[in-house]
Amino acid sequence: MTTGMLRDDALTGKTIIVTGGGTGLGKSMTRYLLQLGANVTICSRRQAVLDQTAQELTAELANHPGAGKILAVQCDVRNPMEIENVLAETVAQFGRVDGLLNNSAGNFISPTERLSYKAFDVVVDIVLRGTYYFTLAVGKYWIENKIKGTVLNISTTYATTGSGYVVPSAVAKGGALIMMKSLAAEWGKYGIRLNAIAPGPFPTKGAWDRLFPEPLASMMDPTSRIPLKRVGEHQELANLAAYLLSDFSGYMTGECITIDGGEVLAAGEFSHLEKVTEDQWDMIGETIKQANKASKQEGK
Ligand code: HXC
Ligand code: NAP
User: In angstroms, what is the span from residue 184 Cα to ligand 2's centroid?
Assistant: 23
Residue 132: is its pLDDT beyond 80?
yes
Residue with CA at minimum distance from ligand 1 atom 12: 119
Q: Do 259 and 236 form a contact (C-beta atoms < 8 A)?
A: yes
Segments forming the whole domain that contains residue 133: 15-274
pLDDT score of 300 more than 80: no
What's the pLDDT tens digit per position in 5-47?
A: 999 999 999 999 999 999 999 999 999 999 999 999 999 999 9
* In a domain? residue 246: yes
Report how far ligand 1's centroid is from the alpha carbon of 181 (Å).
27
Interval between CA 136 and ligand 1 midpoint (Å): 25
Domain presence at residue 282:
no
153 pLDDT exceeds 90? yes
In a domain, 299, yes or no: no
Mean of pLDDT values over 279-292:
96
Domain count, the chain: 1
What's the pLDDT score for residue 171? 98
Could you tell me if residue 297 is inside a domain? Answer: no
Domain presence at residue 219: yes
**193-207, 241-255, 269-283, range with the lowest pLDDT:** 269-283
> Can you tell me which atom of ligand 1 is nearest the CA of 109?
10
Q: How far apart are CA 170 and CA 168, in angstroms?
A: 6
Residue 296 counted as domain residue = no
Higher pLDDT pick, 222 / 151: 151
Question: What integer best gives the mean pLDDT of the chain?
Answer: 97
pLDDT at 299: 78
Q: How confident is the model at residue 1 (pLDDT cuts 50, 70, 90)?
A: confident
The rounded distance, in Å, linking the Cα atoms of 230 and 253 is: 29
The answer as to whether 50 is a domain residue is: yes
Ligand 1 in reach of 107 Cβ (< 6 A): yes
Determine if ligand 1 sits within 6 Å of the CB of residue 156: yes
Domain CATH number, residue 98: 3.40.50.720
Q: Is the CB of 25 under 6 A from ligand 2?
A: yes
Distance from residue 82's CA to the centre of ligand 1 (Å): 21
Provide the CB-side half-sphere exposure for 9 (13 A, CA).
1
158 is catalytic: yes
| pLDDT digit string, tens, across residues 240-255 | 999 999 999 999 999 9
Partners of 259 in beta bridges: 199
Query: Which of the residues 32, 141, 158, 243 is marked catalytic?
Result: 158
Any ligand 2 atom below 6 A from CB of 76 = yes
* pLDDT average, residue stretch 57-76: 98
Query: What is d(CA 192, CA 76) in angstroms, rounded to the nearest whole number?
Result: 24
Average of per-residue pLDDT across 159-173: 98
Cα→Cα distances 65→74, 93, 253, Å: 28, 21, 31
Q: Is residue 290 part of a domain?
A: no
State whether the beta carbon of 296 lies less than 6 angstroms from ligand 1. Answer: no
pLDDT band of 235, cuts 50, 70, 90: very high
Tell me, using a 6 A CB cutoff, whether residue 20 lines ligand 2: yes
Regarding the beta carbon of 156 and ligand 2, being less than 6 Å apart is answered yes
- When pLDDT is cut at 50, 70 and 90, the band that residue 272 belongs to is confident
- pLDDT value, residue 274: 87
What is the per-residue pLDDT for 25? 98
**Residue from 210, 220, 259 to probe ligand 1 pocket by mutation (most atoms less than 8 Å from CB):** 210
Residue 270, pLDDT > 80, answer: yes
Give CA angle at 53 (51, 55), nearest 5°. Answer: 70
Alpha carbon distance 74, 70 (integer Å): 13
Whether 83 and 132 have beta carbons less than 8 Å apart is answered as no
Cis peptide bond upstream of 199, omega within 30: no
- Which ligand 1 atom lies nearest to the CA of residue 119? 17
Distance 108 CA to ligand 1 centre (A): 5
Q: Is 53 in the pocket of ligand 2 (CB under 6 A)?
A: no
Share of the chain above pLDDT 90, in %: 93
Overall average pLDDT of the 218-245 stretch: 95
